[in-house]
Amino acid sequence: MKRLLASLFGLAVLAAPAFAQTGSQKTTAQLITEVNANFPDQTIGAITPALARQTYLDFLASLASTAGPNTSTGLQTFTGGILASGACTGQTACIQSIPTGNEPAWFSTQSLSGTANPLTNSFFINSDNADASATSGLTYWNFAASFGGSNVKGVRDGISLTLNMVAATGNTVQQQRNYVAFNPRITAGAADSGPASYFTMNPQAFGLTGATNISEMTGAEFDFGLLTGASGPATSKILAGLALVNQGTQLATITASNTQAPFTGAINTYLWIYNGSTAGITDAIHFGTPGNAGGFPTPGGTVIFSEVGSVANFVDVSLLTISGCAFKSPGAVCIDGSGNIATGSVAAILTTTAPPVSNTGFLGYLFTNVSQFGVFPISGAPSFTAAKGSIGLDNAGGIPYYNSTGATTWVQLVGLSASQTLTNKTLTSPTLTGTTTSSGQFVETGTSAPASAAGQAVIGGTLTPPTLTNTGQAWLYNTSAGGGVLQGDGSVSDLSLLNKNGSVICSVATASATWACGALSTAGTSAIASITATASGGLQVGTPTGGDKGAGTLNVASTIWTNGTQGLASKTCTINTTNVATGITLTITNGLITGTTTC
């Protein structure tokens, strides 16, 4: 029986027709649906060879053909990368190797319309947590080209970026008409483990060992200009060779560059530094390496040098508000914003010119808007016309002249001793301003007191005590009978004794004869709140009722203590004894017996 069934199965197979089935290209979702439909569960006879073949053929048709070109409408992910080996022939975008010739390895053409994505072509590295310390760093994108050989001719560009505006745009806002061919950017979004430096660009140019015949090595070159027929507004900064614009949170380098033809017109701005932020600029232009004493320029070099030419103003800062120095140099030389000149030591002017004889050429230094008013170096007596008050410094005679008439009359000043020391000189009513320092002794012998005036501090000799009639005065003098006298007049106190902190220790109230002190101490151990020695010779402790009780009296404001025992409080008591017929009454006030009866 088994042999009969096998024979019948073989005949059935031989009799089965051959089908020329083909597959269709489908999406992933369509293939999943087809698999679920053609391979049902637990259904006898539902899965046929024809359905199985069709599913396999559709899978094959949906895979990329190795014969190419292949079309894919979805985003493809290649975990193993792409290895190109063919050539680009007519495609709008392709990647290939270059087996022969100079065909491009990467080629792409695009036409954008409608609303475009701001990132038309993008390369992203979404995260980086790799340790590259062993290789001294990590380069995300590296484009390298090597050239050389006897057949090399013509210039080479490592990377060429070109942005062409070929027709008028629909932009109506000025900020939207900023077109940038190259816009590098670096951002810092978190604090680093230590002070970090961020560089938007770091162009480098090096001559390696063995490189000779180098005519120029430039880290960055900006070429700019306008071709014939191009123009801009009169205030346009399009001819700025380098424009640094600080917009608060963004620093952009904007250049107008065109290397197709040389530009021979006038340059508006070679270097334009514009600060659009209220934070300000610390150093607009900084030469040299910070902290490097031997930095830029090299000794004997020049920081700013100009070739032969003609300008109206070499440096013009007249529109600036300058709080410090408009010009500052070593030696504390400073020209401030008001035109004042300060030097740390010596101001050397006209150091290559000798003082002229009589100075008929008016060589000198003029001041103010008065004609010929100034200081003139001379050699010999002057005879020229100058403004009245002008000074002539005579290098020949050594004694200067001053002009007394505003014409040709000059008067020579009286010379002093070489040391210019005032020895045994008499100064009559001098006025001294500022701080006066004396290394000797100041002896005052005057006997005439000036009139009382507010704001005076008078030091006199032997005087008759004056009556001070204005507040805000202090006098130090002596009298024949009373010796040294300190006298004052103030709105609160006439005299005050202050400590180094400016706190009042003792004072005499205005027009008072009482010397009041905040605290007195005995042997520096016990403090008494308030003790007043009165003018009559009495003594008050605190502020007792009745005040001054006369010479030799003591009036206290509270109870008297005797060796640690407090006196009795104010009260009246009656004492009876067996030997006295009537009682004796003692009146005690604040510890003192102030009256008695029948005693």
DSSP state of 480: T
| Residue 119 pLDDT level (bands cut at 50, 70, 90) | low
As a whole number of angstroms, the distance between CA 549 and CA 547 comes to 6
* Confidence at residue 487, expressed as pLDDT on a 0 to 100 scale: 92
The Cα–Cα gap between 255 and 201 comes to: 15
Q: What does the pLDDT read at residue 491?
A: 92
Q: What is the 3-state secondary structure (H, E, C) of 486-517?
A: EEEECCCEEEEEECCCCCEEEEEECCCCCEEE
Question: What is the SS3 assignment for 6?
Answer: helix
> What pLDDT, on a 0 to 100 scale, did the predictor assign at position 492?
92
Nearest-angstrom CA–CA distance, 599 and 589: 18
- Position with higher pLDDT, 95 vs 468: 468
Would you state the pLDDT for residue 486? 92
DSSP conformation letters of 311-342 = -S-SS--TTS--SSEEEEETTTEEEETTS-EE
- Which pLDDT does position 387 carry in this prediction? 92
246-250, 517-521, 538-542, 547-551, range with greatest mean pLDDT: 547-551
| Spatial CA neighbour of 367 closest among 404, 343, 341 | 341
Pairing mode of beta strands 391-394, 374-378: parallel
* Burial class of residue 507, CB neighbours in 10 A (0-12, 13-18, 19+): buried
Partners of 478 in beta bridges: 462, 484
Asked if pLDDT for residue 260 goes beyond 50, the answer is: no
pLDDT of 462 higher than 90 = yes
Of the two residues 416 and 329, the one the predictor is more confident about is 329
Q: What amino acid is encoded at 399 in this protein?
A: I
Residue 251 has pLDDT above 50, yes or no: no
Query: What DSSP letter does each residue of 415-466 carry, written as one string?
Result: P--TT----S---SS----S----SS--------PPPP-TT-EEEEEE-PPP
> Which residues, including other chains, have CB under 8 Å from residue 358's CB and lie 6 or more apart?
378, 379, 380, 381, 382, 383, 384
What pLDDT does residue 22 have? Answer: 86
Determine contact, residues 247/277, Cβ cutoff 8 Å.
yes
Task: Say if residue 262's pLDDT is above 60.
Answer: no
Over residues 315-329, the mean pLDDT reads 87
Choice among 185-189, 329-333, 544-548, 574-578 with the minimum mean pLDDT? 574-578
Q: What gap in Å lies between CA 350 and CA 407, rounded to an integer?
A: 25
Of the ranges 183-187, 371-375, 403-407, 417-421, which one carries the lowest mean pLDDT score? 417-421
Q: Residue 256 pLDDT > 50, yes or no?
A: no
Residue 552 has pLDDT above 50, yes or no: yes
CB contact set of 178 (below 8 Å; sequence gap of 6+) = 254
Instruction: Tell me the percentage of the chain whose pLDDT exceeds 90.
Output: 9
- Is the pLDDT at 5 greater than 50, yes or no? no
Q: Is the pLDDT of residue 6 over 70?
A: no
Phi/psi region, residue 290 (left: phi>0; alpha: psi -120 to 50; beta: rest), is beta
At residue 389, the pLDDT reads 93
Letter string b/e over residues 88-105, b meaning 16 or more CB atoms within 10 A of that residue's CB:
beeeeebebeeeeeeeee
Residue 72 has pLDDT above 80, yes or no: no
pLDDT above 60 (res 9): no
Neighbours of 57 (CB within 10 A): 14
Contact criterion met (CB below 8 Å) for 227 and 258: yes
Q: Are 441 and 447 in contact (CB under 8 A)?
A: no
More confident call, 354 vs 208: 208
Pairing between β-strand 592-597 and β-strand 483-489 as defined by DSSP bridges? unpaired
pLDDT-derived band of residue 241, with 50, 70 and 90 as boundaries? Answer: low
Quick check: 10 pLDDT over 50? no
With 0-12 CB in 10 A as exposed, 13-18 as middle and 19+ as buried, what is 594? exposed
Q: Which residue has the higher pLDDT, 596 or 229?
A: 229
Answer yes or no: is pLDDT of 123 > 70.
Answer: yes
| Residue corresponding to tokens 């007519």 | 90
Between 16 and 44, where is the model more confident?
44
Whether the predicted pLDDT of 32 surpasses 50 = yes
Window from 38-52, 295-309, 392-406, 547-561 with minimum mean pLDDT: 295-309
pLDDT 10s digits, 486-509: 999 999 999 999 989 988 888 899
Q: Give the mean model confidence (pLDDT) for residues 552-559.
A: 80
What pTM, to 2 d.p., does this model score?
0.42
DSSP string computed for 281-318? -S-SS--S-TT-TT-SS-TT--SS---S---S-SS--T
Q: How far is CA 333 from CA 18, 297, 322, 329, 344, in A?
A: 106, 21, 16, 5, 6
| Distance, CA of 248 to chain centre | 14
Instruction: Classify burial at 379, counting beta carbons within 10 Å of its beta carbon; exposed 0-12, middle 13-18, buried 19 or more.
Output: middle
Q: What is the mean pLDDT of the chain?
A: 75
pLDDT at 489: 93
Answer yes or no: are the C-beta atoms of 469 and 452 closer than 8 Å: yes
From 326, 307, 306, 304, select the one nearest 317 (Cα to Cα). Answer: 326
**Rounded distance between C-alpha atoms, residue 392 and residue 397, angstroms:** 11
